[in-house]
Structure formats: structure tokens, C-alpha cells
Amino acid sequence: MKSPRFLCAGMLAFALLLSAGSLYPIVAVGTNQNGQAAPPKQPATFRYVCPMHPDVQSKKPGKCPKCKMKLEKKKVKPPEVQTQDR
């Protein structure tokens, strides 16, 4: 049988570990650190661009009408939505 002193030390250590977890704030999924809803992520937008003529762009794969080269898939930044903080 274990001594009562050993059991008390174990229970004290467990209680300290349990209470230490409550010191850190829990942030819900889909919120920022202020608890506000995080803005939804925009899906990646792609365009097909000619490597020789960057002004030639298409939403579909194909060939450049100027040089007949194959259009390459490039990731394009989606337009940023401006929000006003109040």
C-alpha cells in the first residue's frame, strides 16, 4: 500500500496540471483572438497566361493567339474586400 504522503503529492500535481490548462484562453474554431468571426477564405483563382505575352489571359487552357504557345496556369490573387472597422 502506498503512503498517504505519496498519494497527496500525486493528487496535488494532477490538480496543478488541470488548473494550468485553464490559464490559456480557448479560441473557438472560425474566430479570431478577439472572439469575432473570421472572414471566410476565398478559393484560389487561376488564369491561363501566355509566357511570352502576359497580357494574353484566359479562364480556360488553350494557346496564345499571338504566338501559338500553350497557356500556363497561374494563380491570381482574388480581389480584396475592404471592410471598415467600427
> What's the pLDDT tens digit per position in 6-28?
677 778 877 776 666 655 555 55
| Number of domains present in the structure of the chain | 1
Task: Please indicate, yes or no, if residue 84 is contained in any of the structural domains.
Answer: no
Residue 86 lies in a domain: no
**Given pLDDT bands bounded at 50, 70 and 90, which one contains residue 72?**
very high
> Residue 37: is its pLDDT beyond 70?
no
Other CB atoms within a 10 A radius of the CB of residue 32 amount to 11
- Please provide the DSSP assignment of 3-53 as one string: -HHHHHHHHHHHHHHHHHGGGSPPPPTTB-TTSPBPPPPPPPEEEEE-SS-
Domain membership of residue 83 (yes or no) is no
Q: Is residue 27 part of a domain?
A: yes
Decide if 67 is inside a domain. yes
- By residue range, what is the domain housing residue 13? 4-34+44-76
The pTM assigned to this predicted structure is 0.43
In a domain, 39, yes or no: no
